[in-house]
Structure 1
Amino acid sequence: MSELAQSNIQNTRLYIVQKNKGLILTLLCLVSILLAWLFGTVQLVFLEILFYSLAYLSGGFQQAYDGLKTLIFEKDLDVDLLMVVAAIGAACIGYWMDGAILIFIFSLSNTLEGFTMEKTNKDITSIMNLRPEKATLIVENKEQTVSVSQLHKGDLILVRPGERIPADGVIVEGASAIDQSSITGESIPVDKTINDDVFAGTMNRQGALEISVSKLANDTILSKIIHLVQEAESELPPSQIFVEKFERIYARIVVCGALLLMVLPPFLLGWSWDNTIYRAMIFLVVASPCALVASIMPAFLSAISNAARQGLLFKGGIHLENLSRVTTVAFDKTGTLTEGKPKVTDVIPFNRYSNDELISLAGSLEKLSEHPISKAIVQFAEQKKCPLSPAADFQSTMGMGVSGKVNGIACVIGKMDFIHSNLNASQQTAVDQLENQGKTVIFVEADQQLIGIFAIQDTLRGNAKETVAQLKKAGIKTVMLTGDNHSSASAIARQAGVDHVYDQLLPEDKVTIIKKLTEQYGHVAMIGDGVNDAPALATATVGIAMGCAGSDVALETANVVLMGDDLSKIPKAVQLGKRTSRVIKQNVTFAIAVILVLITINFIGDINLPSGVISHESSTILVILSGLRLLR
């Protein structure tokens, strides 16, 4: 066997031992206790004490080290040190077995807690493994394997079936079904073809694709997800911060209480000194706030992990906690409640022109324009399979429209002020009806005669209406904030079913409205996607950004990122936040109740140290498992 292979095997063994060190030490503690008990039954006292000492050392060394470090450097007491002191105290008065059982169960509890926390962390951070390390770069029709970090904007990469896409980009050749569940939470692969956007970390299921890179490795949506996950893991919710501060104060109270129990009962209650010290050690154990401390963070991490799997990324537990208190949800309009892409909704031809003739003429001229409305008309013509002809003498007038010739016909397309024709009564009625519906009307003129109109509107997202209905059913008020004109805003608001609409707003106006809503109704969540939404996102109790459509500024400012832009996740997130709060309240109540019951039983004298340890540590494990329910 080569030296390299031997080295790899040795490194693997070291990794396994290091990863499972807690479990190994706990098992060593158990074996030592059993051997000590066996030697005690045959009166080999030296070996009995030796193996009990080994049990104390293997099961309690790490806890003692951590506790002393906290005491020396932070001048604070913690639960670890209390447990070790209680065990040593029991040994000092001859209760070696009781102290050893305390050390073993506490060590086992910490090991199980470590495994459960690793489970939640693994669920949250497993997405980091989706980032490919290598990419197939195409240079002068030749393939090169390069590191993803070496890719630049505009590079052409090849992605074969079964490979993960290494960078955000646009398909320039090929078509395939892309599994985007890692980014958007969609369970069904999405069909993608030329000019469609694709994301790093998603899986190419079928055809080979040539993709033009649009973002550097550190700017991809997957990289942003990883960054958000790291933020979520490090940021503690207020309730956890409070409990950790309370733990330090409480630990001092427990120590003072134990000291009093060591001194007063012989004088006040007539207890023996051995019994007094033993009861004080039990008090140290059962009064320790282990379960109380473990009531919160596992629950929050489990909930954040659950949300991440569904495409909803929280930047910390505090935002999940705040979301549970939200009474009002404010939606931006364009790109949030709506698709953010104008579409043709109505076509009305005039002067003996047919629908297809009008669409073909307009599509032919608009094909030369890059304006979003022009693209909407061209896309509509392509969907209707209307033939498009080459256009000549094309001119674009900013903010007004376009002009040119199609098959020798002089055409003008744009606003009413841009064309030369006048409207008759029936035409004006048709225009008024469309504008009252919040639609933008585009006029088409051929040889200075009005031949028809197009109605353009930004369409509502498919699940927007259902999302608003679910929020209202949950008792949450819904509003819409937009810079659009009143008619357009009102039309979308009616379709979505929101309670109230604020229109013609500047970014600073949105901030003012958010503050006003907060004063009136309490906690407010704001959902937006653009740079102009960033101030409002920062002002709201919880800012939620659209992950795919959202601007970089919005993503950085928001507290929560909605990957896949699926609004239906919002009611589920609110429900998850409320469920998390309920679970935490249940855990805290249970933990406090167990402590009070065990303290009471200890004073009555009907509990020994092993029973107290088992009851106390079992409550800790139960609250951790209770928190893990939120993974579902």
Structure 2
Amino acid sequence: MCTKHEACSTTKNSMANPQAVSCSSLKITAIRAAGVDSNEEGCCGSRECASNDPDDEPAQLTFVKTQFNQSWKIEGMDCPSCARKVETALKKVGNVIDAKVLFATEKLVVKFNTEEAALEIEQAVRNAGFTAHRIDATNPVSAPIHSDWKSVIKQNAQILSIAGAMILAAIVQPYFPQISDGMFILTCLAGLYPIGKKAIQLARSGTPFAIETLMSVAALGALYLGETVEAAMVLLLFLIGERLEAFAASKARSGVQALMALVPETATKIVAGERITVAAHELKPGDVVEVSPGSRLPADGQLHEASASFDESALTGESLPVERYQGDSIMAGAVVADQVVRFTITSKQGENAIDRILHLIEEAESRKAPLERFLDKFSRWYTPLMMLVSLAVVVIPPTLFAQPWETWVYRGLALLLIACPCALVISTPAAITSGLAAAARRGALIKGGAALEQLGKIESIAFDKTGTLTKGKPEVTDVVALNGWDEEQLLRYVAAVEMGSSHPLATSLVKKVQAMALPIPEAIEKRALVGSGVSGVVEGKSLRVLAPSKANVPFSDAFSAQVEALEMQGKTVVVVFEQENIVGLIAWQDTLREDAKAAIEALRRLGIDTIMLTGDNPRSAATMSAQLGIDFKASLLPQDKVEYIQQLAQQKQVAMVGDGINDAPAMKAASIGIAMGGGTDVALETADAAITHNRLVELATMIELSQATLANIRQNVTLALGLKSIFLVTSLLGITGLWVAVLADSGATALVTLNALRLLKFKK
């Protein structure tokens, strides 16, 4: 499969165009500025996508069934129930393979088989009562425009008209009661028309038990009973509640929409030395762009200037400007702080740092928390059940106990309004969306409600050492040549064997040799000795570079003392062998992250146990452990880390924090995996959360935010069910009427959403 794209569908079909294969870039891994890949190929240009059959004949026609991926912006959604209504409507559209509505970004993503299906999809969305706008390069999703007073009046024209008509009818009531009743009836019917129309649309689209249906039945029932004032009041309160829900929903999306606004709409492109203003979506890799101080970068790129300062606070949570140097990667959305800069674009459309964060948030929405999944299922039978209860309330007392029909029909209608599950459905996703957005603002990305919920339950955290607790930039500190070798020869030969490795120790050594301008010879028969070191042949000499504990040969007392002394200083030591002869040793030392100790102390205050897992030698690990005040396990192979995490996970909820490929299996084995933002793509893909700015001290804050989100969810569910229960009883007893039932529904929905919005202001 194409490594850059999630899917390239190639099923055979005798009537399809073999070249019309659509690929959608949905899988996002790296959370940093896109770099330049000299080996980059087009979609499905890699060998994984190509046929491996040598007998394939070019002249032979191969037909494939086309698969299209398209996104739309959906307008008119007030809560996750609306998103589910759209998905239900699209299930009835032919040729639709999969449809997913992302409420947080108001985005619909559909996979379908025929080009004509796109129009059917848009029509299905309209039939469900919503509006769909196609998203592409020329029509990207944009941040919301703040409304002026004219547009606000236009949006609320129906509410204002009904309210005005009701006020007029109330004024006329003492003088002309019949005219007043007629005005209330007309007002009610006028307000009911759009609601009833949408109820019919939703019923045809597969959602017969929508709030619009319940409201229409309740209003018509009130009119039948002669309660004209109450019928009109019910509709007015419902419409006001809808507007409040829409407002609350837009506030809940504000964190995500703020990210969308970080990329400017235009950019200054340099062509033949001249400045040309172009749309940001027209930029492509290789273009040179100029940005003035105070402006944001329109794409990821590589800096031309010798140095420049950038404000990346909106992306990483780092409040102070960061210094970047010539050739460094810089991220879309960052603000130029001190001078005019030029840079070369490195990111394709839809693949810059902002896009990757948005994609991760969208991906996160599909990973629902267990409680959210339960409430979704619960809400699907809650409304039909409540409708049956309402019917029973209407029928049983009059038929079995000779009670007046009017009284119990009225109470049944009130119960019908309480049957709407909106407040319950939105209680969890509203809190999770706010929690995810608050985390993103602080430079932490959490992949979904399930991960957010799990993070709040963590009891123990295991850390990788190199690149996680340390900076991951070890420096060569000691070179000792033995048995007739000199230091330069030792460095050159070991660099030859280590050349091409991505291990921090190897890259550090190679850079040192290159900085010394020493020629590095060619090594052959290079081989990684898992958990031990590397081997290779250089200029006819067979070399092995091994950890002292893996050498399996006796050392002299003097040599052992030398190795032990270096390890006691917290250094990592390797022994170099030619055949079976020791020809030298090399030592590196990595430095702790400035905030590592503070991070461990913050976690300890939360009652979370911490431990360091490392493949380094026990003496070096003990030295670093003492500095941090953390337990440790040393000399661990990747599989040893996995086994330890699995054992620990049987006793408590455990997180694994790492940054490298070798950490990925242990992160997968943990209850939740957390990656450092500067880590490998494999680690970031495996992880359930990532710290984009590499500040370990924010890990405790991330956990506190998760705990606050869980508490918020409990509050919301209690509030939603509590209000429903209270007004269920009061409606049955006849204490409250229809309009109070509407307030119970819309008010509860608005309250739980506003309560969830408090998470956006979360402070440690």
* TM-score bin, normalised by smaller chain: 0.7 to 0.9
- Cα deviation for residue 400 of structure 1 reads 10
Corresponding residue number in structure 2 for 1:624:
753
Structure whose residues are more often helix by fraction = 1
The equivalences for 1:460-539 within 5 A come to 460-501=592-633, 503-506=635-638, 508-521=639-652, 523-539=653-669
Specify whether residues 629 and 149 from structure 1 end up closer, same or farther in structure 2 by C-alpha distance, changes over 3 A only: closer
Question: Aligned pair 1:576/2:720, yes or no?
Answer: no
What are the superposed Cα offsets for residues 291-340 of structure 1, whole Å, 9 maximum, x if unpaired? 32332222222212211211112232222122122223232322222211
Corresponding residue number in structure 1 for 2:307:
175
- Cα deviation for residue 471 of structure 1 reads 2.0
Query: Given that residues 248 and 750 in structure 2 are in contact (C-alpha distance below 8 angstroms), is that contact kept between their aligned partners in structure 1?
Result: no
Larger mean Cα displacement after TM superposition, 578-587 or 62-71: 62-71
Structure 1 letter corresponding to 2:297: I
Corresponding residue number in structure 2 for 1:285:
417
- Cα deviation for residue 89 of structure 1 reads 0.9
What are the superposed Cα offsets for residues 140-178 of structure 1, whole Å, 9 maximum, x if unpaired? 655555565666666554333223223333434233221
Query: Structure 2: how far apart are the matches of 1:303 and 1:189?
Result: 26
Specify whether residues 189 and 44 from structure 1 end up closer, same or farther in structure 2 by C-alpha distance, changes over 3 A only: same
- Cα deviation for residue 185 of structure 1 reads 1.0
Query: Structure 1: how far apart are the matches of 2:258 and 2:647?
Result: 41
Query: Given that residues 572 and 617 in structure 2 are in contact (C-alpha distance below 8 angstroms), is that contact kept between their aligned partners in structure 1?
Result: no
Specify whether residues 121 and 400 from structure 1 end up closer, same or farther in structure 2 by C-alpha distance, changes over 3 A only: same
Query: Given that residues 181 and 187 in structure 1 are in contact (C-alpha distance below 8 angstroms), is that contact kept between their aligned partners in structure 2?
Result: yes
Query: Structure 1: how far apart are the matches of 2:704 and 2:720?
Result: 24
Selected match of 1:225 from 349, 357, 381 = 357
Corresponding residue number in structure 2 for 1:297:
429
- Cα deviation for residue 79 of structure 1 reads 3.3
The equivalences for 1:160-309 within 5 A come to 160-233=292-365, 235-267=367-399, 270-286=402-418, 288-309=420-441
Specify whether residues 461 and 110 from structure 1 end up closer, same or farther in structure 2 by C-alpha distance, changes over 3 A only: same
Q: Secondary structure at the match of 1:178?
A: strand
Query: Structure 2: how far apart are the matches of 1:416 and 1:395?
Result: 23
Structure 2 letter corresponding to 1:520: Q
Larger mean Cα displacement after TM superposition, 267-276 or 322-331: 267-276
Query: Structure 2: how far apart are the matches of 1:77 and 1:375?
Result: 62
What are the superposed Cα offsets for residues 356-380 of structure 1, whole Å, 9 maximum, x if unpaired? xxx9xx99xx999999669869999
Structure 1 letter corresponding to 2:248: T
> How many equivalent residue pairs?
581
Question: Aligned pair 1:561/2:668, yes or no?
Answer: no
Selected match of 2:220 from 88, 93, 98 = 88
- Cα deviation for residue 202 of structure 1 reads 0.4
Corresponding residue number in structure 2 for 1:40:
173
Q: Secondary structure at the match of 1:545?
A: strand
Query: Structure 1: how far apart are the matches of 2:469 and 2:721?
Result: 45
Query: Structure 2: how far apart are the matches of 1:530 and 1:149?
Result: 33
Specify whether residues 159 and 429 from structure 1 end up closer, same or farther in structure 2 by C-alpha distance, changes over 3 A only: farther
Query: Given that residues 616 and 634 in structure 2 are in contact (C-alpha distance below 8 angstroms), is that contact kept between their aligned partners in structure 1?
Result: no
Question: Aligned pair 1:608/2:737, yes or no?
Answer: yes
Q: Which runs of 5+ in 1 are unaligned?
A: 1-11, 351-358, 382-387, 404-413, 418-422, 444-451
What are the superposed Cα offsets for residues 485-512 of structure 1, whole Å, 9 maximum, x if unpaired? 4444444444333334354323x55444
Query: Given that residues 617 and 634 in structure 2 are in contact (C-alpha distance below 8 angstroms), is that contact kept between their aligned partners in structure 1?
Result: no
Query: Structure 2: how far apart are the matches of 1:562 and 1:13?
Result: 32
Corresponding residue number in structure 2 for 1:542:
672
Q: Secondary structure at the match of 1:584?
A: helix
Corresponding residue number in structure 2 for 1:8:
none
Query: Structure 1: how far apart are the matches of 2:160 and 2:322?
Result: 49
What are the superposed Cα offsets for residues 531-553 of structure 1, whole Å, 9 maximum, x if unpaired? 33334444433332222x12233
Structure 1 letter corresponding to 2:332: A
Identity of aligned residues (%): 34
Query: Structure 1: how far apart are the matches of 2:147 and 2:439?
Result: 35
Selected match of 1:27 from 160, 185, 189 = 160
Q: Secondary structure at the match of 2:696?
A: coil
Query: Structure 1: how far apart are the matches of 2:195 and 2:337?
Result: 49
- Cα deviation for residue 130 of structure 1 reads 1.5
State the Cα RMSD in Å. 4.4
Structure 1 letter corresponding to 2:257: T
Specify whether residues 50 and 624 from structure 1 end up closer, same or farther in structure 2 by C-alpha distance, changes over 3 A only: same
Query: Given that residues 79 and 288 in structure 1 are in contact (C-alpha distance below 8 angstroms), is that contact kept between their aligned partners in structure 2?
Result: yes
- Cα deviation for residue 612 of structure 1 reads 4.0
What are the superposed Cα offsets for residues 591-624 of structure 1, whole Å, 9 maximum, x if unpaired? 2222222232333333333344335543333222
- Cα deviation for residue 117 of structure 1 reads 0.8
Specify whether residues 530 and 610 from structure 1 end up closer, same or farther in structure 2 by C-alpha distance, changes over 3 A only: same
Query: Structure 2: how far apart are the matches of 1:89 and 1:208?
Result: 68
Query: Structure 1: how far apart are the matches of 2:374 and 2:154?
Result: 31
Query: Given that residues 252 and 753 in structure 2 are in contact (C-alpha distance below 8 angstroms), is that contact kept between their aligned partners in structure 1?
Result: no
Structure 1 letter corresponding to 2:314: S
Query: Structure 1: how far apart are the matches of 2:747 and 2:215?
Result: 15
Query: Structure 2: how far apart are the matches of 1:602 and 1:147?
Result: 58
Q: Secondary structure at the match of 2:294?
A: coil
Specify whether residues 57 and 17 from structure 1 end up closer, same or farther in structure 2 by C-alpha distance, changes over 3 A only: farther
Query: Structure 2: how far apart are the matches of 1:560 and 1:301?
Result: 15
- Cα deviation for residue 433 of structure 1 reads 1.8
Query: Given that residues 599 and 700 in structure 2 are in contact (C-alpha distance below 8 angstroms), is that contact kept between their aligned partners in structure 1?
Result: yes
Query: Structure 1: how far apart are the matches of 2:331 and 2:432?
Result: 28
TM-score (norm 2): 0.66
Query: Given that residues 621 and 632 in structure 2 are in contact (C-alpha distance below 8 angstroms), is that contact kept between their aligned partners in structure 1?
Result: no
Q: Secondary structure at the match of 1:38?
A: helix
Specify whether residues 152 and 266 from structure 1 end up closer, same or farther in structure 2 by C-alpha distance, changes over 3 A only: closer
Query: Structure 2: how far apart are the matches of 1:260 and 1:216?
Result: 60
Q: Secondary structure at the match of 1:275?
A: helix
Q: Which has the higher contact order (CA 8 A, sep 6+)?
A: 1
- Cα deviation for residue 26 of structure 1 reads 2.4
Question: Aligned pair 1:336/2:465, yes or no?
Answer: no
Corresponding residue number in structure 1 for 2:572:
440
- Cα deviation for residue 467 of structure 1 reads 1.6
Corresponding residue number in structure 1 for 2:580:
none
Query: Given that residues 460 and 496 in structure 1 are in contact (C-alpha distance below 8 angstroms), is that contact kept between their aligned partners in structure 2?
Result: no
Query: Structure 2: how far apart are the matches of 1:466 and 1:217?
Result: 39
Q: Secondary structure at the match of 2:656?
A: strand
Structure 2 letter corresponding to 1:273: W
- Cα deviation for residue 118 of structure 1 reads 0.6
Query: Given that residues 136 and 146 in structure 1 are in contact (C-alpha distance below 8 angstroms), is that contact kept between their aligned partners in structure 2?
Result: yes
Query: Structure 1: how far apart are the matches of 2:359 and 2:153?
Result: 28
Corresponding residue number in structure 1 for 2:182:
49
Question: Aligned pair 1:111/2:243, yes or no?
Answer: yes
What are the superposed Cα offsets for residues 253-285 of structure 1, whole Å, 9 maximum, x if unpaired? 221121122122235555322222112222223
Query: Given that residues 464 and 613 in structure 2 are in contact (C-alpha distance below 8 angstroms), is that contact kept between their aligned partners in structure 1?
Result: yes
Q: Secondary structure at the match of 1:207?
A: coil
What are the superposed Cα offsets for residues 26-56 of structure 1, whole Å, 9 maximum, x if unpaired? 2223223223333433326356434533345
Selected match of 2:716 from 587, 600, 609 = 587
Question: Aligned pair 1:319/2:459, yes or no?
Answer: no
Query: Given that residues 125 and 226 in structure 1 are in contact (C-alpha distance below 8 angstroms), is that contact kept between their aligned partners in structure 2?
Result: no
Specify whether residues 243 and 142 from structure 1 end up closer, same or farther in structure 2 by C-alpha distance, changes over 3 A only: same
Larger mean Cα displacement after TM superposition, 323-332 or 481-490: 481-490
